[in-house]
Chain A
Amino acid sequence: MTSVDTERSITVTVNGVPRKATLPVRRLLSDALRHDLGLTGTHVGCEHGVCGACTVLVDGTPVRSCLVFAVQVDGASVTTVEGLARDDHQGGQVLHPVQEAFRECHALQCGFCTPGFLVTIAAGLEARDRSAEITEEEVDEIVGGNLCRCTGYANIKKAVRHAAAAMRPAEADHTGHFGGGDGAW
């Protein structure tokens, strides 16, 4: 018989680390990440799916974490903005090319919407054919579901183009930005 619960214990792999939590079934994934797991990089804006600030990857796919219950990702793998940078194997971290591009292009001002943009753009750029030059239509489609209220979109879109160039495989890279991408991301 199916159990009907008000509380559940779940195990979720967050940024590569298995995490356990016992929480009310009504807990949104966004709140579980922030309050139960202490990962406050994921921001909560509108809480009804419009702004995109809370976007995370569930099994590699971008979703609004405010539109998923934490119990629904039991057993799944979640990547938040904290999981974008990589270990440099020298005790530090290497920013994701999208994070580098945001810094380079001044694509953030107050930073509230930034985690959602970073996660969405990283997934969008990783899913596309990286050897092809990115089109304006692709850029618009990637960032079109996220709201920014202060930076403006011009520099965010510029950062998408920069990151796409940095992520091109070395043989296809003609820009030299970021020392040339090795396609490893």
Chain B
Amino acid sequence: MKPAPFRYADPGSLDEALDVLAAEGDGAKVLAGGQSLIPLLSMRLAAPATLVDINRVPGLDGVEATGDGVRVGALVRHAALLHDDAAARVQPLLARATANVAHPAIRNRGTTVGSIAHADPSGEMTSVLALTDGSVTVATPAGRSTVGWRDLFVGPLETSVHGPAVVVDAFFPALAPRSGTAFAEVARRKGDYAVCGAGVVVTLDADRRVEAVRASYISVGLVPEVVDLTEAVHGRPVDAADWAAAGELARTLVDPDGDLHASADYRRLLVGVLTERTLGTAAAEALERTAA
């Protein structure tokens, strides 16, 4: 099918974009990469009266990696973030997760911030924002504000950003010292929507014992959440930690839904398998970063 008729503006500045959004009212929607929005329009699942295309707005396409974290502008494509070495050094989850976002042709166009603002529970980057305890910057005609991930995600495809507003960047805090990460997912075809996916962070203490374990899942639950798996392996030497026990714990902490693609039980099984698998990888990296 084809998108229903709409009005289109492609403002040349952020102020103009906010002006148009304010003038067009509730029926206006921001268009960035469009790789989630345009299919929704074509399937007539959404029919906004106006699309405000921000692709011509200058200053939104930067990736800024500092010791504190990585700030990703609203027009940074997944492909650019995937290949940003400085960003990967500060927060390795970014490259690991974006490698799982759709297919190369879609990563070339789709934006990381757009996928966060889209708030799809099967989106990789929503889950990474949660797992890194990140936030977004929201610009409105009244000014800018920072919104933490817990306050951002309200429900599937729903955020707390309303009215004339543009999410101008997302901030992913740096990976803590003595920590390692991993990300993996199961999909019918690599790059398709994941049946289940897992991102994990393992942190060791100075004696190489497990100090903290956190995980976040995709296509599990209605909004991104972070589960704490520390108790299953806390204080264990990293090479003797029982990651399967952490996987078992994870299965009891999630509440996936069943659908056409997978039953709830199968998703819960995958949570356990992916947790065990990713924790082993993340722990090895944490050990490497502890030794270094």
Contact = CB atoms under 8 A, between A and B. Distances in A.
Chain A binding surface, main DSSP class: mixed
A5 B106 CA distance: 27
B42 A2 contact: no
A6 interface: yes
B42 A64 contact: no
B104 A141 contact: yes
Interface in A42-93: 47-50, 52, 55, 61-64, 66-69, 71-72
Given A4-B50, A66-B42, A144 B189 contact: yes
B191 A144 contact: yes
Interface residues on A, range: 35 or more
A5 B7 contact: yes
A134 interface: no
B109 A4 contact: no
A56 B52 CA distance: 24
A2 B103 contact: no
B10 interface: yes
Contacts of A25: 6-8, 51
Contacts of A140: 190
A63 B10 contact: no
Interface string B224-267: 00000000000000000000000000000000000000000000
Interface in B9-28: 9-12, 16-17, 19-20, 23-24
Given A62-B105, A72-B53, A4 B42 contact: no
B109 A64 contact: yes
A155 B56 CA distance: 41
Interface residues of B, number: 40
A31 B3 CA distance: 12
B4 interface: yes
Given A2-B16, A25-B8, A48-B43, A63 B108 contact: yes
Query: Which residue, A8, A26, A62, A66, has most C-beta atoms of chain B within 10 A?
Result: A26
A145 B19 contact: no
Contact of A145 (B10, B16, B191): B191
A3 interface: yes
Interface string A139-158: 01110110000000000000
Contacts of A64: 35, 105-106, 109
A8 B6 CA distance: 12
B5 A2 contact: no
B148 interface: no
Contacts of A50: 192
B55 interface: yes
A49 B35 contact: yes
B62 to A, nearest CB: 19
B8 A5 contact: yes
A98 B51 CA distance: 38
A49 B193 CA distance: 12
Contact of B5 (A6, A31, A49, A66): A6
Nearest to A26: B3
A2 B109 contact: no
Interface of B: 1-12, 16-17, 19-20, 23-24, 34-35, 38-39, 41-43, 50-51, 53, 55, 102-106, 108-109, 189-192
10 contacts: A2-B9, A26-B3, A26-B8, A52-B103, A66-B38, A67-B34, A67-B109, A68-B109, A120-B105, A145-B105
Given A2-B10, A52-B103, 15 more contacts: A1-B19, A4-B9, A26-B2, A26-B3, A26-B4, A47-B42, A62-B104, A68-B109, A71-B10, A72-B10, A72-B34, A120-B105, A144-B104, A144-B191, A145-B106
Interface of A: 1-6, 8, 24-26, 28, 31, 47-50, 52, 55, 61-64, 66-69, 71-72, 120, 124, 140-142, 144-145
